[in-house]
Structure formats: C-alpha cells, structure tokens
Amino acid sequence: MAGHASRAQTAPIDLGGALLLIAVLGAAVAVPYCNLVLPPSSPWHVEGWVVQLLGKYLCFALLAVSVDLIWGYCGILSLGHGAFFALGGYAMGMHLMREIGDRGVYGHSELPDFMVFLNWSELPWYWTGFDLFWLAALMVLAVPGLLAFVFGWLAFRSRVTGVYLSIMTQAMTYALMLAFFRNDMGFGGNNGLTDFKDLLGYDLQADATRAGLFAASALALVFGYLACRRLVTSTFGQVLIAIRDAESRTRFLGYRVEHYKLVAFVVSAMLAGVAGALYVPQVGIINPGEFSPANSIEIVVWVAVGGRGTLYGAAVGAVLVNYAKTYFTGAMPDVWLFFLGGLFVAVTVLLPRGLTGLFRGVRGPSAFGRGAAGG
Amino acid sequence: MRTVPVRPGPAVPCGLPAAARPIVRLCLVALVLLAFAVPAGATTDDDQFAAAVDALALGSYNDRVAAIEALAALGDPRAVAVLEALMARDLYTRKDTGAVVIGAPADSRRQVRPVDPVTGTIGEPVRTRSLAKIRVNNRVRRAIRSALGALTLADPEPARRLDAAQAVFTARDPDQLVPVRRALEHEADPDVRAALVQAAAAIELAAGSPAERLAAIAVLAESSDPAVQALLSERLLDRDGAPVEPDDEVRAAAADALDRIEQRIAMWRLVGDVYRGVSLGSVLLLAAIGLAITFGVMGVINMAHGEMVMLGAYTTFVLQDAIRTHAPGLFDWSLLIAVPLAFAVAGLVGIAIERGVIRFLYGRPLETLLATWGLSLILQQAVRTVFGPTNREVGTPDWMQGAFETAAGITLTYNRLVIIVFALAVFAVLLAVIRKSAFGLEMRAVTQNRRMASAMGIRTGWVDALTFGLGSGIAGIAGVALSQIDNVSPNLGQSYIVDSFMVVVFGGVGNLWGTLAGALSLGVANKLLEPTVGPVLGKILVLVAIILFIQKRPRGLFALKGRAVEA
C-alpha cells in the first residue's frame, strides 16, 4: 500500500507542513519579542491582548489538527471533539482553582469560591491532587484519553460508523454539557471555573506569563503537528487511510480496523485535551458552554475550510476562520452568522478540498480517493 | 338536631390594610348586589325578600336567629350580602324611615353610604348618627355562618356550590354540618355531592363520636385527594409525632385508609407522568418525523431541520398577526389555517435547499451535514434580523385552553392533548401517503434502487426534491404545534435537533414505525425518570442509555435488513 502512495504522503514533512512549522516557530520567537522587548512606541510592538488572542488561535489550530487526524485520515467525523477540548480545559482549570488558595473572595484555604458559596464542607474526592501540577497535567491527557477510549471501544467494536457515529459523538458532548451545567457536579455549574490567579507561581495577568503561554501553545502545535504527521506517514497511517477509503475491504484484508481507529481516536482526544489545557489559562475561564454541540461543529468547519487530510490545512483553517470571527463579531456582529453559514455551504459545495486545496492543484498530493468523499 | 361543640370564629374577616378596606368593601358590596340583582327576580318575590330582611331588625336575639333562618330558607342569593353585612356589623336601620340598609363606607368616617339590600342601589352618604346599628351576639353570629354556608351551598351555579363544599371541607366548622346535610338532601350534581359527602366526613372526623369518626374514615378512604391524605395523616400524628386520635380502632382504620389513599395517589401520579411522557413523545414525534423522511428515506442529514420547525412557528406568528388586524373573528381558526400555510412555507424552503445545495452533495453524507448546518445558521440569523432576537407571542385559541382535573390533583392540559392527537394524525397521514399514493410509490422506488427507478421513467431528481420538501413541510407543521408549548424564538429549532436525531437513530433509520416507537419511549422514559432524579440528570441518563443501546443495535430498534443497509 505504501508503494502506491505519493511522496507527499510518506515524506517526513510536506511543503505546506514545512511552511506552517516555519511560521509557527517564527511566531513563537517574534511575538514574545515584539511584546516584551520592543517599547510600546515602536510600530512593531504587539499589545498584550493581541498575544493572548494569537495564543487562543494556536490552541484552536492544535484542536483542528487533532480533528483532522481522525476525520481527514480515518474518516471519523467527530461532532463531539469540543468535549475532549473542554475536559482538558477543566482539568487545567481545576489546578488553577487550587492555585488560588486563600486568595478567593471568601478566603477559604481549601475550597474554591463556588463550593463555599454552595456550603460544601470539603473537596469532592475527584478534586484530590489537583493542587499538584504534574497530576493535573497528567489528567489533561488521561481524562479525554479515557473517555475517547471507552466511547471509541464501544462504538468501533460494534461498528457504529459514518453518520451514526457523528450523531453519537454529538449526543456525548450534549450529555456532558447538561451534566456540567449541574451545580452538584462540583465543577462550578453554569459559571464554570474562573478568577484564576497564577500558574506555577507566575501571575496570569503579567505580560511575560502571557508571552510564555503563547510560546508554549506554539510549541504544542509544532509537536502536535509533527506527532500526527509521523503517525499518518507511518505504515499505521497507511492503514488508517485504507480504512477511510474502504473500511470493509481493509477488514477483509485482515486488519483489526477497530484497533486502528481506537488508537487514532484516543491520540486525537489527548491532543484536543492539551489544546484545551493551554486555552484555559489564556482566556481565564472555562464553562459548560464549551461542550455545546454547536462549538464542536464549528471545529469541523475550520478543518473543512482549511482542507482536510493535510493536517497543516486544518491549522490554517482554524486561524483564518477565528480571525474572521474576531473581525466580524467586532465590526458587524449581525453578519457573522451569515458569513459562517455561507462558509459552510460554499466550502462543502464549491471547495471540497478546502482553501489549501486551491494551491495544491488538481493532480497534487490529494489525500482524497474516490470513496473518501463519503467519509 | 344534634348539639355540636361551639367554636367561636372570627367575627370580621380581615387581611387587607385598614386604609384599603373601606374602598374594597364598597366595591364588593356593590358587585355582589349587582351580580345578584338580575337573577333575583326569578328566584323570589322582591316584597317577600324585603319583608324577610326587615324582620332582621326586629325583636330579641332569639327573634333575630329565627329571622336569619327564615331569610336563608328563601334561598335568595341577595341574602348573602345582607348576612355578611350583618356579620361585619354593617347592617343598619334608618331612623327616619325604619328601612334596613347595608352601610358601605363613605369618604368621611362619620358618614356611610346606604345600600338598598333589595335593589342594590347606593344612596347619598348619610351621617352615622341617623342610623341604628343592628346588634349581634355569638349565637346570632353562629346562625349567620350556618345560614351563609347553606346559602352558598344552595347557589344555582354548580361551580360555586363545589367551591362552597370545598371551603367547608377546609374549614371543618361543626356549625356547617347541618347545612351540608340539608344540601345533600337535594343535591343532584355528582361532583358537588361527592365534595359534600367528603366535607361532612371531614367535620365528623374532627368532632364526631368514635362511631361517627369510623364511618367518616370509611367515606374518606374512597378519596384520592391529597387534601384528604393530609387530613388523615394530621389525625394520626401531630407535628411532634404524638397520636391525635384517642381511639385505637379509629386510629387503625385511619392508618389503613391513609395507605389506600396513598396508593391511589401514587397511581394517579404515574398516570400523570405517563401522560406528560406521551405528550413529550408526541412533540418529539412531530419534530423527528420529518427528519425520519429526509434522513431515513433519503439518507440526507438535514441539520437545518430544526430551522424548518422554527419557520413553521414563525409562519403561525405572522398569520395570527394578520388575522388580528384584518379578521379577528377567524382567530379561533388561526392554528388550522396555519397548518397548510406552514407546510407550504417550510416545504418550499426545503425544496429550494435541496435544489440549491443538497443535490450537489448526494453520496457525501458528512458534507451534507456540514452544509445544512451552515444553512441552519443562515436561517436563524435571517429570522433574527427580521423578527428580532426576542421571543414572539403566539396566542392559543379558546378551544385549546383549559385542563382536566383528575382525582389526585393532577391536571392534564387540553393543548397537550390536542398535540398528541395531532401528532398521531400527521403520522397516519404520512404513512398513508408513503404506502398508498403514487408519489409514495415513486419515493420508495427511488430509495430502493435509484437507477432502476430512473430507467422506469421516474424523474428521480424531482422525486428527491419533493421528498425533501415533504420532510421539511412536516417540520413546518411541527412548528405550528410547538408554537403552542414552547417559546417562538430564533433558537427554537436548535433545542430539538439533538433530540430528534436521537429519536430517529434509536427507532431505526428508514422506518416510520420505529420513529413512533422511539419518540414515545424516549418521551415516557424522560418523564418517568424526572420525579426521581430531576429533569437534567434524567435527560443525561436517557442520552447515555441511547449511546449504549446503539452499541448493541447499531441500526436502531427497527433496523432495515438486506442490501440497502450497506449502501
């Protein structure tokens, strides 16, 4: 199978990926430099809020890459990836809540404000250990990974595929959203977790911390991209593509299709969790709205706009769509949904290979076989 | 006549601030008198009534009690105002003419407005010095209360009699036992009779001999009213947990009766929950049935389906608006007119969507999903731009308002019942269209084998468009129904989309009966879980159960079999 694949599918890195890596690594150095070192009078000075905004885009880019890994290469359209993102975010948010210590409004040394408000006397068991950064970091990977494992194991084993799987993932994130809205879940209910003070002793409001988080997001995106690229160019990745294009045939050839899908799904969920964990300290809040099905569908659109099955296209799409969102919701809020809706329709009908597809040419390294369009 | 323990009640009903009381009382007196002035002539002679009222002012207290009983015996509704005024010490005789008048408060404290008890006319304010107050003592007051009870219990309006009987039940005033017994002798209405029997039993339970209490418990045990349940449990134990009822035998009977009542109430609660579940299920059925066509028959994932529902609801709103301004008389028919209109609007939008977008995406279900999601955003924003983001008010015609009251205090509203019937009717019509009509035949042919159908001369593209239009139109009809029970806002469709997909997937794609079974079972499951775990957790449990169920049966309850499955 590998013999038939074009060079772009097996090379350690393709042209688009190389450009993406150069751009992200460049930004990882340049943006903090322009923010911290250059004086505010300089025309190249970057404001603190811009750093924060760009950092947010990078987290979304990593999330989009994780979705592209399973959608573009394995044909699994997850409409619930926002759930993994939010779970990673909640794990980080819980750590940040513990970091507040007794600086909360009620000044309780152990309990976060919302628990004091609800008259709880002690931390629920599942908050144990979240004061340790390493454990929280582990949970950022473990919780989304475990959910993806259980959900994927059940779904793939019983061959729930295509649209059914999409709707099930949507139901999953919807159920989680309802659950996290409940106050007695112990995750802050409607308001979520917020009022964070610092991370590893660094003040979250300081410019240097923000620049550091930006650089960390950039590095996470680079590593996430490289990991996914490594995965899809390996023999394992070739089987994933085979599953995407002809699942039954691959199964009849003797591959345990469900195992391949499960590995890809879990890796993707963990990457999404990391993206969420980096997102939360930068925006300063995590609430159950992140679980909403609409959010998850929007992620898929970033990937579709950028061009699925390329990995770098997903990252580009995430940044472009989110830039457009920032622009429209600021300048013409009424037009934003028209624009987003129109984008969905235009991209699916007119640009099935996304914006980056325009530059790849008709015979270029397309990741799409005949059956790929059906997903 | 039996003697009953005397329990003095409050002489003057109070509760309003003192400043407001005179004005309110004036209005009340006038209202009561006016309300009774018209039918009064039909019941008694004015002269007879006037004579009975004048007798109140004469003689000793004993004579007054006799006069009150005589007045009550006339059964004239106007007597209520007179007796209430006497109870409140607002009944006077004019010193100049000797006529009995009701004193309604005037602007000055030294004056009152005399109200003629027979005609209800309000005279010019007169000085209180020119009036003589008719005096009452406790015995007279008791006679008044008893007479008032008898009068309201003898009201020509059954609803008022029912209220009066229920008031007696709550008050459990031993003075009322005699009027209740007397009313029972010639009461014909079964509901009022039952309430009277219950009221008499409640009084006897509170104040009768052990044998009477036993008989009362036997009567009360037949009830399934939560108020009776409370009454019996109060009788068993007081707030500190000490037994109230001294007699062991009576206590055992009460405990037994309480058990039976609780069982019956639990049964009625269950009936109420199931009714609400079926009602939710019928809403889900309406929302999902169009989806079952577009998704089940055509394999198109229409994420804009919820927006078709929303369009139907807004069509109803616009239509009602037009009817209100141009033809208010048609308002009762507005929902019936809205049904075909909403079908047309949503159906045409659906056909436009199919021709404009979806036909380019056949065979690519995931892309269809994304494109239709985009369309749903556009439609939502368009409606928000035109109608604004706030909820719109859609009126309910009179014939849909109201509710059944079942025994245990469970109310079943009519609009829910109408929606249940409507959903089943839509389901039946749709089934008939697909099974019996030529279009249904073509639709099934295209679903089963597109190329063969095309070769047989069926215009498959046209059938696709019409099928999509049919599914969307039914969503529009669902919108008419949902406008009655949900907020009509641009987000209306969003709240149903996940649920309707769950119904279709759970029931099995491509099978309308599966959709029916799926919708009803999800609705009932939700509502049965609700009382024990709360609405949100109940919903989560149902979602998790569906996710697990799909693992076991990936194609739903009623799965299609054969080659079409793999397509």
Residue B496 at interface with chain A, using a CB cutoff of 8 Å = no
Question: How far does A164 lie from chain B, in Å, by closest CA?
Answer: 7
- Is the model more confident about B566 or about B424? B424
Per-residue pLDDT tens digits for A170-209: 888 988 998 888 878 788 888 888 878 778 877 777 788 8
B538-544 mean pLDDT: 85
Residues B327 and B463 in one domain: yes
Residue A342 at interface with chain B, using a CB cutoff of 8 Å = yes
Kindly list the distances between the CA atom of residue A346 and the CA atoms of A49, A299, B264, B376, in Å, as whole numbers in the listed order: 32, 16, 61, 14
Question: Domain for residue B91, yes or no?
Answer: yes
Containing domain of residue B32, as a range?
Answer: 21-156
A211-237 mean pLDDT: 90
Positive or negative, the CA dihedral B515, A294, B529, A152 is positive
Provide, rounded to the nearest whole percent, the portion of chain B with pLDDT above 90. Answer: 8
Helices (H), A234-374: 235-245, 247-252, 257-283, 293-306, 312-331, 333-350, 354-360
Residues B27 and B139 in one domain: yes
| CA A168 and chain centroid, separation | 19
Question: Domain for residue B555, yes or no?
Answer: no
Give the A:B interface size as CB pairs under 8 Å. Answer: 130
Q: How confident is the model at residue A259 (pLDDT cuts 50, 70, 90)?
A: very high
Question: What are the chain A neighbours of B385 within 8 Å (beta carbons)?
Answer: 334
Residue A155 at interface with chain B, using a CB cutoff of 8 Å = yes
A12-37 mean pLDDT: 81
Residue A294 at interface with chain B, using a CB cutoff of 8 Å = yes
pLDDT for B5: 45
Per-residue pLDDT tens digits for A91-124: 999 888 888 877 777 777 777 777 877 777 777 8
Query: Which range, A4-8, A214-218, B112-116, B293-297, is most confident?
Result: A214-218
A140: three-class secondary structure by DSSP: helix
B433-438 mean pLDDT: 88
Question: How far does B493 lie from chain A, in Å, by closest CA?
Answer: 13
Cα maximum dimension of chain A:
66
Q: How confident is the model at residue A338 (pLDDT cuts 50, 70, 90)?
A: confident
List the single residue in B360, B369, B498 with the smallest CB-CB distance to A174: B498
Residues B200 and B343 in one domain: no
Question: How far does A31 lie from chain B, in Å, by closest CA?
Answer: 34
Please give the mean pLDDT across all residues of chain B: 79
Residues B391 and B290 in one domain: yes
Question: Domain for residue B513, yes or no?
Answer: no
Report residue B401: phi and psi, to 5°: -85, 160
Residues B262 and B285 in one domain: no
Q: How many distinct structural domains can be found in chain B? A: 3
Q: How far is it, in rounded angstroms, from Cα B266 to Cα B480?
A: 34
pLDDT for B469: 92
Residues B361 and B483 in one domain: yes
Nearest CA in chain A to B505: A164
A286: three-class secondary structure by DSSP: strand
Q: How far is it, in rounded angstroms, from Cα A305 to Cα A89?
A: 25
Residues B237 and B287 in one domain: no
Question: Domain for residue B49, yes or no?
Answer: yes
- Asked if the Cβ–Cβ distance from A375 to B505 is below 8 Å, we say no
Question: What are the chain B neighbours of A167 within 8 Å (beta carbons)?
Answer: 501-502, 505
Per-residue pLDDT tens digits for B229-283: 777 777 776 666 666 666 777 777 777 888 888 888 888 888 888 888 888 888 8
B318-324 mean pLDDT: 88
Sequential DSSP letters for A48-70: HHHHHHHHHHHHHHHHHHHHHHH
Question: How far does B495 lie from chain A, in Å, by closest CA?
Answer: 11
- Please choose, from the candidates B537, B544, B502, the residue with its C-alpha nearest in 3D space to the C-alpha of residue B523: B502
List the single residue in A181, A341, A348 with the smallest CB-CB distance to B361: A348
Per-residue pLDDT tens digits for B38-65: 444 445 577 788 888 888 877 788 888 8
Among B434, B464, B490, which residue terminates a domain? Answer: B490
Q: Which of A78, A160, A174, A344 to mutate to test the interface with B (most CBs of B within 10 A)?
A: A344
Residues B251 and B360 in one domain: no
Question: What are the chain A neighbours of B368 within 8 Å (beta carbons)?
Answer: 348
Nearest CA in chain B to A162: B366
Q: How confident is the model at residue B352 (pLDDT cuts 50, 70, 90)?
A: very high
Question: Domain for residue B541, yes or no?
Answer: no
- pLDDT tops 90 at residue B351: yes
- Asked if the Cβ–Cβ distance from A179 to B540 is below 8 Å, we say yes
Question: Domain for residue B179, yes or no?
Answer: no
- pLDDT tops 50 at residue B301: yes
| CA A324 and chain centroid, separation | 18
pLDDT for B33: 52
Q: How confident is the model at residue B30 (pLDDT cuts 50, 70, 90)?
A: low
Residues B246 and B286 in one domain: no
B363-377 mean pLDDT: 83
B476: three-class secondary structure by DSSP: helix
Q: How far is it, in rounded angstroms, from Cα B61 to Cα B136?
A: 7
A363: three-class secondary structure by DSSP: coil
Residue B361 at interface with chain A, using a CB cutoff of 8 Å = yes
Question: What are the chain A neighbours of B552 within 8 Å (beta carbons)?
Answer: 158
**For residue B253, how many other CB atoms are within 10 A of its CB?**
21
- Asked if the Cβ–Cβ distance from B536 to A337 is below 8 Å, we say no
Among B469, B490, B511, which residue terminates a domain? Answer: B490
- Is the model more confident about B61 or about A8? B61
Question: Domain for residue B253, yes or no?
Answer: yes
**For residue A291, how many other CB atoms are within 10 A of its CB?**
25
pLDDT for A192: 83
- pLDDT tops 50 at residue B8: no
Which amino acid is located at B501 in the chain?
Answer: F
CA dihedral B243, B248, B252, B254 (to 10 degrees): -60
- pLDDT tops 50 at residue B563: no
Sequential DSSP letters for B101-169: EEEEE-SSTTEEEEE-TTT--B---EEGGGEEEPP--HHHHHHHHHHHHHHHHT-SSHHHHHHHHHHHH
Kindly list the distances between the CA atom of residue A41 and the CA atoms of A37, A51, A207, B456, in Å, as whole numbers in the listed order: 11, 17, 16, 77
Nearest CA in chain A to B363: A374
Provide, rounded to the nearest whole percent, the portion of chain A with pLDDT above 70. Answer: 93
Per-residue pLDDT tens digits for B450-480: 888 889 888 888 888 898 999 999 999 988 8
- pLDDT tops 90 at residue B393: no
A22-44 mean pLDDT: 79
pLDDT for B39: 46
Per-residue pLDDT tens digits for B149-171: 777 777 777 777 777 777 777 77
Residues B303 and B449 in one domain: yes
Question: What are the chain A neighbours of B543 within 8 Å (beta carbons)?
Answer: 171-172, 174-175, 178
Question: Domain for residue B339, yes or no?
Answer: yes
Residues B84 and B224 in one domain: no
- pLDDT tops 50 at residue A372: no
pLDDT for B1: 41
Q: How confident is the model at residue B9 (pLDDT cuts 50, 70, 90)?
A: very low
- Is the model more confident about B198 or about B356? B356
Residue A344 at interface with chain B, using a CB cutoff of 8 Å = yes
- Please choose, from the candidates B48, B34, B98, the residue with its C-alpha nearest in 3D space to the C-alpha of residue B76: B48
Q: Which of A135-139, A261-265, B174-178 has the lowest mean pLDDT?
A: B174-178
Residues B213 and B108 in one domain: no
Question: What are the chain B neighbours of A251 within 8 Å (beta carbons)?
Answer: none
Per-residue pLDDT tens digits for B474-523: 999 988 888 888 788 888 888 788 888 888 888 877 678 888 888 898 88
Residue B2 at interface with chain A, using a CB cutoff of 8 Å = no
B321: three-class secondary structure by DSSP: helix
Residue A299 at interface with chain B, using a CB cutoff of 8 Å = no
A294 token code pair: 């609409």
Question: What are the chain B neighbours of A168 within 8 Å (beta carbons)?
Answer: 505, 547, 550
- Asked if the Cβ–Cβ distance from B374 to A342 is below 8 Å, we say yes
